[in-house]
Amino acid sequence: MTEVITTALVVLTLVLVGALVLLWRLYNDSVRRTDAAMAMVEGERERAAQHQRALHRWEVAFSSVTGRGELGEQVLVETARALGLREGLHFSVQADLAGGGAAKPDLVLNVGGGRQVPVDAKASLAVWMEAAETDDAGERAEALRVHVRNIRSRAADLAGKGYQRWADAIYGTIMFVPSDAAVVSAMDTDPNLLPWLLDRRIFLCGPTGFAVLASAALFAATERTLAEDVEAVRGQAAKAHRAATGAVDAVNLSSTHLQRFLSARRRELDALESFRSAAQPLTEAAASPTPVPGIRRAEELTVGGVTNEGDEVDRLES
């Protein structure tokens, strides 16, 4: 009986020890899972904080003139480059038109012939983004009205700067907005916005409208360059023609003088021959042992058996 009780106690003890070991393993596993879950939660919190900081930076950028200018200018320059325009040739960034910083638009299109088109990219999109994100119709309408007021305010500032005095290609300024939807929303909200802008020589456009204007400017600049190249080639051809005419006239004049010289030379030789013949009796009367030398004709002047002067005389006389 005692042995049975002892055996039962031993078995019960072993079972309890096994249960404790199993519970300890389960506890450790749960602790590891909890730590992993906490790490994931902390990671999500950090990512959310990063997104919040980035959103705050965007909000600050869109709410300030400097930030709007940097963002709008970046989109503007990338759009120009995507169209094939080259900086320094077809457009310039932050060009000082008047000197001293009085007229310094974000971008200036060069259309050739010294003409330029100023482009401003500081329009605000913060309120329009609020209108696009809200689901409340009243809030959206109010945000769009504020969006239109912001565009009018920026347009009034641009009109006061008078960029067209130094960049007179279109006698106005392009007001670039980095979203076509923002332009359409403003026009739909205020039907009088477009004529109001045109009265102040402000041309509101998004990336698509700017692409059309930039392509037209690129075409105009290319046409002017081709015309200037053709005119330069025409001027060079006229100069070459005048030079060739002068050279031919000079050769003709020289040939005429050479013919006259050779003709006079022949007459001189004939006169000398006549004089020699007339002096021959005097030589015989003087009983001079040395006769008067004969006159060497041009036909007798040869080099290596080839007549030079005689051939030239015959060629010129012919």
Taking only the tens place, the pLDDT of each residue in 273-307 is 777 777 777 666 666 667 767 766 655 444 444 44
As a whole number of angstroms, the distance between CA 216 and CA 212 comes to: 6
Segment of 4-13, 103-112, 194-203 carrying the highest mean pLDDT: 194-203
Q: Tell me the per-residue pLDDT of 81-107, one tens digit each, with 9 for 90 and over.
A: 887 778 777 787 877 766 666 677 888
pLDDT above 70 coverage of the chain, percent: 73
Strands 91-93 and 107-112, how do they pair?
Answer: antiparallel
pLDDT at 103 (0 to 100)? 73
Question: Alpha helix locations (H) across the chain?
Answer: 2-63, 65-82, 126-133, 137-161, 180-189, 193-199, 207-285, 309-317
Residue 237 lies in a domain: no
pLDDT at 192 (0 to 100)? 92
CA-based torsion, 59, 63, 68, 70: positive or negative: negative
* Cβ(73)–Cβ(107) below 8 Å: yes
pLDDT at 1 (0 to 100)? 66
Q: Tell me the sheet residues that pair with 110.
A: 116
What is the rounded average pLDDT of the residues 153-173?
81
Strands, E, within 45-114: which ranges? 91-93, 107-112
Residue 177 lies in a domain: yes
Backbone angles phi, psi at 194, to 5 degrees: -65, -50
What is the rounded average pLDDT of the residues 135-150?
89
- Six token digits for residue 280: 């021959």
CA-based torsion, 299, 303, 307, 309: positive or negative: negative
User: Can you say how many angstroms the Cα of residue 129 is from the centroid of all Cα atoms in its chain?
Assistant: 33
Q: Looking at the 3D structure of the chain, how many domains does it have?
A: 1
Residue 59 lies in a domain: no
Q: Nearest CA to 176 among 91, 279, 52?
A: 91
Average pLDDT of the residues of the chain: 76
pTM: 0.50
Segment of 91-95, 110-114, 116-120 carrying the highest mean pLDDT: 116-120
* Cβ(305)–Cβ(296) below 8 Å: no
What per-residue string of b and e applies to 60-91 under the rule 16 or more CB within 10 Å gives b? Answer: eebeeeebbbebbbebbbebbeebebeeeebb
Residue 195 lies in a domain: yes
Residue 158 lies in a domain: yes
Nearest 5 degrees, angle CA 82-CA 84-CA 87?
A: 95
Residue 71 lies in a domain: yes
Neighbours of 22 (CB within 10 A): 10
Q: Tell me the per-residue pLDDT of 199-248, one tens digit each, with 9 for 90 and over.
A: 988 999 888 888 887 777 776 666 566 556 667 777 777 787 788 888 88
What is the rounded average pLDDT of the residues 259-273?
80
Examine the pLDDT at 317 and tell me if it is beyond 50: no
pLDDT at 106 (0 to 100)? 82
What is the rounded average pLDDT of the residues 117-134?
81
As a whole number of angstroms, the distance between CA 310 and CA 298 comes to: 5
As a whole number of angstroms, the distance between CA 14 and CA 17 comes to: 5
Segment of 161-175, 182-196, 272-286 carrying the highest mean pLDDT: 182-196
pLDDT at 193 (0 to 100)? 92
Residue 183 lies in a domain: yes
pLDDT at 255 (0 to 100)? 84
pLDDT at 305 (0 to 100)? 42
Q: Which of 5-14, 55-64, 83-92 has the lowest mean pLDDT?
A: 55-64
Residue 134 lies in a domain: yes
Which secondary-structure segment (H or E) carries 117?
Answer: strand 115-120
Q: Please give the residue range of the domain that contains residue 157.
A: 67-228
Q: Tell me the per-residue pLDDT of 22-34, one tens digit each, with 9 for 90 and over.
A: 888 888 888 888 8
- Report the Cα–Cα distance between both ends of the chain, in Å, rounded: 162
pLDDT at 301 (0 to 100)? 45
